[in-house]
Structure formats: structure tokens, C-alpha cells
Amino acid sequence: MREKAQQAADSRIKLVKEMITGIRIVKYMAWERPFEATIEKAREHEVERLKKMALARSYMISVMMSVPNVGIGLTFFTYSFSVDMLDSSKIFTALSLLNLIRLPFAFLPMMITLGTQYAVTFKRLNEFLLQPEVEKRPERPLQDVVLRMKNADFAWNKDEEPVLKDLNLKVKKGQLVMVVGSVGSGKSTLLQSALGEVFKLKGEVELNGSIAYVAQEAWIINATVRDNILFGKPYDPKLYKEVVEIAALQPDFDIMPAGDMTEIGDKGINLSGGQRQRISIARALYQERDVYIMDDPLSAVDSHVGAHIMEKAILGFLKKKGRTVILALNQIQFLPQADHVVFLKNNTIAEQGKFSDLVASGRDLAQLAKEFGVTDEDQQIKSKEGDKKSKSEKDEKEIDLSKANLTGEEEKEVGLIGFSTYWLYVVSGGLGYFFAMCFCLLIGFGAQVFYSIWLSDWTDPAKYMSRNYPKYVWQVVFISGIVAQIVFLILKVCASFYSN
């Protein structure tokens, strides 16, 4: 039941994640109701399985609470067949001994329940941890050839067909390499292959130097903007200001409540897609690494901002410092600026070389460049933003740090819990179920007190002789009290289950 409930929860979470990820398309196409219906159906399926599991747990709890009483009751009931009147010394000695094992037997059913849950959890963890490991990329010092691929095939799983075949690529130190191709041609996979995140089926791959990686989907931590850019490195005001200007972040800092000290929510929830990507770019620039691998970082920003980043960050900051840049992109108007162009098609490198040579060849890339009006003469990129400075310098004026945090101090009441809180809890579960639980609990404990007194009278010679009941009456009344307690205990647990 636990495994089936977990599978249902996985399906529902997957649907919710897909909807949130594609919420813009959902809103554009007015698909809210179909998505809502699908998620509600998945939730109903999950709740149905959770109900079955909870009901089974309720029965298990009932057994857990009943086993000690059943054990004691059956012990004395069976013993009563061999004697007319119970001996108090033997009975209370037996009670002491049975109470020693009462707790272990009471928790035995719970341990069985938890054991099954742990078994399901360990099975899922085991399947994940036993997945084949990706070969770790060895750290090598910077050399004249930064990246070398020779007859390399790559796949996301070892048992699958390769997604990139027969790759031969050489990237030299200080080069700006641009990787282009149609959607799904494998640009991101090529970069992941260079980083060692994809299984290499055959061939040779070598990547040298320290690496900075800018993902296509920016990765942001729950911290301030400055902490996201520094990412553990010491604060260097000059370098920090330079990368902020290069990444076109200063205008954003001007409108943020506390500038770069503004706290960012989980996954950058309070930032736009362009802001997240530019913070990711600034972080990479601040690290000052030998090799920069960028997976289409300009797709999330406006065209004039993309031109600014290309001019100031890639062609300016990185190129002037002799850094090697491997850039996957869809904006082919930037191709004339590249030292080396790689064109992917049909799961392999179809063309590579200087842009001018590829255009002169008249093949696929040349046709694509002609279609979009890109020529070899487009050597200068003009940023619409230019070198305009921000109207205000946040580092030159005081910042209200009280506005930096997303959350404030949590309010809490101190003192005794009021009756209204308890009543709200009772009403939420249902008054009928509440009174049913109270009634069953009262009758159950009443039955326990009754058969305890009955057992005491049964072991008292004076009371046993004065009442003069047949032995079967003592036996039936005693066992009936135990059965009544168990029945009402089960009813109480079931009522508690349905109230939740």
C-alpha cells in the first residue's frame, strides 16, 4: 500500500510540476480547467490509496492497543478451566510477569508497519543509488588545447543509442567557439559531454583548465543577490562592480528594495527569467576561470541586453583576458564574431571552422545565414544600452536593509491555548465523529475497569463464595468485558480515522 501510494504521489507531483513549469503556455491557451481536472483526478487516486493505507494503519493500531489485554484475558480465561476459584497470589504474580512483556508486544505491530514503510523507501533509494555512475572528469591544468574530442559517442544512459555520434572537435586556448544547430540537435548535450555529465560510449574527451558553467536554466540559491554572484569568493569591490555593469544588472539593483542586498527566494522566484540569467552570468564572470562553457545564456534576455552582454562580457571582458569561451546559442547574428563555429545536424558535427569559410562553402550553415541575413561583414555589435551609467549608484548611498528580507518575524501567541482553538479542531474533524470517539473511549475504558474489578472479586474468596455464581458465569462475564473493550477500541480508532 505504501509503494502504491508513493507511486500515485509521484504522478501527481509530476503533473503539478509540469503545469507550474509551463504556466505561461497554460495561461496563453486557457488550459487551466483541463490541467485542474487532470491534477484533481490524480489527487483523488492518491487520496484513495492513502485512505486504504490509513485504514489498515488504524486496524494495526487497534491490534497494537488490544494485544496486551487479549493476552492477559486469554491467559486467565484458559487458566480458569483448571481451577474453581482463581488464586490471587498466582494471578497478581502472572500480571506482573505479563506486564513486563506488555510494551514489546504492544509495539510489535507498529514495528511491522514501520518496517514495511522503510522497506519501500530503501528499495527506491537502492534503485537510485545503484544507477551507473558517470565517469568523473579529471582536473587538468590549462594547456594550449582546452577541449579535445576524438571519434566520441555520447548517450544519457549506457544502454541507449548515442545521442551524439562521432564527434571530432579541438578548441584552442583563448578561442571563442559558438555552437549552433536546430532545436534538439544536441547543443546542450555537447556542452554536458565536455563537462563529463553524459556517458561516453567510445572515443576520447579531454577538457583542461578551471571551468565556469552557465546553464540554460539559471540556478539561483536562496540568498541575497550579492551572495549569488560572489558564490563563496571574497568580495572584491572593483571586480564586483565591473561584472555587475557588464551583466547589465545595475538598473535592476536600482529598482530592488535593498539593491544587491535584496534576498532572493527559492529558485529565484521573485526575479524575472532575464534577471536570473544575468545573475548567473555575473557569477561566472566573477569566478575568473580559464574556460567558460555557456549554454544559450542570451535566450532569456531582451535582444538589446543580449547584444550588450555579447559585446561587454564575451567579446570584451573574457576575450581581452584571453579566456576560452564555448557558447551554445540560437542567435546566429553573433556568429561572425566567433573564432570557430560548430554546426550540429543529425546527431553529429556537420560543419565546423571559421564563419567566413563556412559561408563560402555554401552548405547548410551558409543557407541558414543567408535566410536570416547574416554576413561576414557583421563584425560590430552595437548595444542599445551603450555605456550609459546608472542614474544612481547604490554603493554610494545608504540602503535600507530592513527591506532586504523576504520574510519577517513570525507572529505567535504566548500563553494558554484558548477554548476556541480546541473547538475549531473538533468541528474540523466533525462533531459526530468527535462524540462517537468520546463515547467509544468511555465505554472501552469502562469495560476495562469493569473486568479488572470482576477479576479482583473472582480472586477474593469471600466475594466468590457469597455470590455463588457458576464458574461459567465468571468466565463469560470476564471475557465479555475484554471483548467489549477491544470492540469499542476498534470503533474509536476507526472514528478517529474518518474524522481526519
Of these ranges, 48-62, 86-100, 175-189, 400-414, the one predicted with the greatest mean pLDDT is 175-189
What CA–CA distances, in Å, run from 430 to 70, 98, 226, 306? 31, 38, 51, 59
Whether residue 266 has pLDDT greater than 80: no
Domain count, the chain: 2
Considering the chain, what percentage of its residues have pLDDT values greater than 70? 92
Q: Which of 129, 159, 183 is the last residue of a domain?
A: 129
Task: List, for residues 294-331, the tens digit of each pLDDT value.
Answer: 999 988 888 889 899 999 999 999 988 899 999 999 88
Pairwise CA distance, residues 289 & 63, whole Å: 64
Please report the pLDDT score of residue 73 as a whole number.
80
Q: How confident is the model at residue 407 (pLDDT cuts 50, 70, 90)?
A: low
Please report the pLDDT score of residue 219 as a whole number.
87
| Mean pLDDT value across the chain | 84
As a whole number, mean pLDDT of residues 387-391 equals 41
Q: Which long-range contacts (CB under 8 A, 24 or more apart) does 133-142 make?
A: 134/196, 134/197, 134/198, 134/199, 135/196, 135/199, 135/200, 136/196, 137/195, 137/196, 137/207, 140/206, 140/207, 140/208, 140/209, 141/208, 141/209, 142/173, 142/208, 142/209, 142/210, 142/290, 142/291
Whether residue 500 has pLDDT greater than 70: no
Least confident span in 14-18, 65-69, 246-250, 278-282: 65-69
Please report the pLDDT score of residue 182 as a whole number.
86
Task: List, for residues 131-165, the tens digit of each pLDDT value.
Answer: 877 777 777 888 889 999 999 999 988 888 899 99
Over the range 265-299, which residues count as b (16 or more CB within 10 Å of their CB) and which as e?
eeebeebeebbbbbbbbbbbbbbbbbbbbbbbbbb
Q: Which of 96, 129, 162 is the last residue of a domain?
A: 129
Whether residue 286 has pLDDT greater than 90: yes
- 495 lies in some domain: yes
- 261 lies in some domain: no
- 348 lies in some domain: no
Whether residue 394 has pLDDT greater than 90: no
Pairwise CA distance, residues 179 & 165, whole Å: 16
Please report the pLDDT score of residue 75 as a whole number.
84
Please report the pLDDT score of residue 409 as a whole number.
65
Least confident span in 106-110, 174-178, 397-401, 480-484: 397-401
- 488 lies in some domain: yes
Q: How confident is the model at residue 423 (pLDDT cuts 50, 70, 90)?
A: confident
Q: Which of 83, 106, 129 is the last residue of a domain?
A: 129
Domain holding 102, by residue range, is 2-129
- 58 lies in some domain: yes
- 117 lies in some domain: yes
- 473 lies in some domain: yes
- 176 lies in some domain: no
What CA–CA distances, in Å, run from 388 to 250, 281, 385? 11, 20, 6
Considering the chain, what percentage of its residues have pLDDT values greater than 90? 32
Whether residue 447 has pLDDT greater than 80: yes
Please report the pLDDT score of residue 254 as a whole number.
87
Q: How confident is the model at residue 398 (pLDDT cuts 50, 70, 90)?
A: low
